[in-house]
Every structure is written in C-alpha cells, then in structure tokens.
Structure 1
C-alpha cells in the first residue's frame, strides 16, 4: 500500500533513477524494415522470378501493415503490381524470342 507521501512509480528521487525515455514521435526507417524489404522485393519481381519475389513482397507488406507500419499496404500493392508486370514482361519476351 502506498501513502500520499510516496513518490509515483518510476520516479525514485532517493537513487536519482529516471523513468525510461520515450523515442521521439514519428517513424524512422529502422521502424519500417518489413515495408522497405517489401518494396525491394516489388522492384526485383519485375525483372527476376516475379511469382517468388512478388509473393514475398506481398507477404512482407501485409506483415508490416499488421505491425502498424504506414507503408505496409503500399509495399503489398507495389509487390502485387510488380508481380503482374514482371509476369506480363516474361510472357512478352518469351513470345518475341520464340
């Protein structure tokens, strides 16, 4: 039980301990790793293995969005678009070469 004279939790004036500092508001790039990797997979899916990298980018974008990253849904959308464009390009180049 605490008395009115006790200091609030996290504020121990006897030892000089300070409560933990909060990070500044706003997002840093390190906080959006899943979304950034999702965008990289989206770009790679246009040129190399569109199904593999496109699905990986979509999964990473959705995971980032679920974690609260604001760019997560955009990474998933970009990966989906990159997968479609990469697939169409691969079919078009296959028909030209054949």
Structure 2
C-alpha cells in the first residue's frame, strides 16, 4: 500500500473534489497523481486524470445547483 500512497491520496482528492471545493481538491489530486507518476507509481497517471475529471464534475455541479 505504501508504494502507491500518492496515487491513492490523489484518488481520494478526486472523489472529494466532486462534492467539496472542486478547485482545491482537484488541483491537489492532479498534483499528487503527477508526483506519483514521476515516482513510478502505476496508478499515478490515472489518479491525475480522475482528479481533473472530479474537478470538472464538481465545478459543473456547483454551477448547476447554485441558488439564484
């Protein structure tokens, strides 16, 4: 588990970005995914992609559900 730590935290940030502060958690997830990829973690690239998608989805949801 420790060998994939950055990627796992990147995926967690991707999931959190959909519901809470998408820009903050999305960018953190992308950064962690890229860092994991650079360190040779196989899931690093996918964590960065998932965080970007989570950031986009969270932003769209917040625009659609915002009152007024």
Could you state the TM-score of these two structures normalised by the residue count of structure 2?
0.98
Does residue 1:63 correspond to 2:24, yes or no? no
| Deviation, structure 1 residue 66 | 0.1
Runs of 5+ consecutive residues of structure 1 not aligned to the other structure = 1-28
Matches of 1:85 and 1:32 in 2, distance apart? 25
| Deviation, structure 1 residue 30 | 1.3
Give the root-mean-square deviation of aligned CA atoms.
0.5
Q: Could you report, residue by residue, the CA deviation over 1:43-88 in whole angstroms, capped at 9, with x for unpaired residues?
A: 0000000000000000000000000000000000000000000000
Matches of 2:42 and 2:13 in 1, distance apart? 17
Runs of 5+ consecutive residues of structure 2 not aligned to the other structure = none
Q: Which structure is larger by alpha-carbon Rg, 1 or 2?
A: 1
Deviating beyond 3 angstroms after TM superposition, the runs of 4 or more aligned structure 1 residues are none
Which is bigger in relative contact order (C-alpha 8 A, separation at least 6)?
2
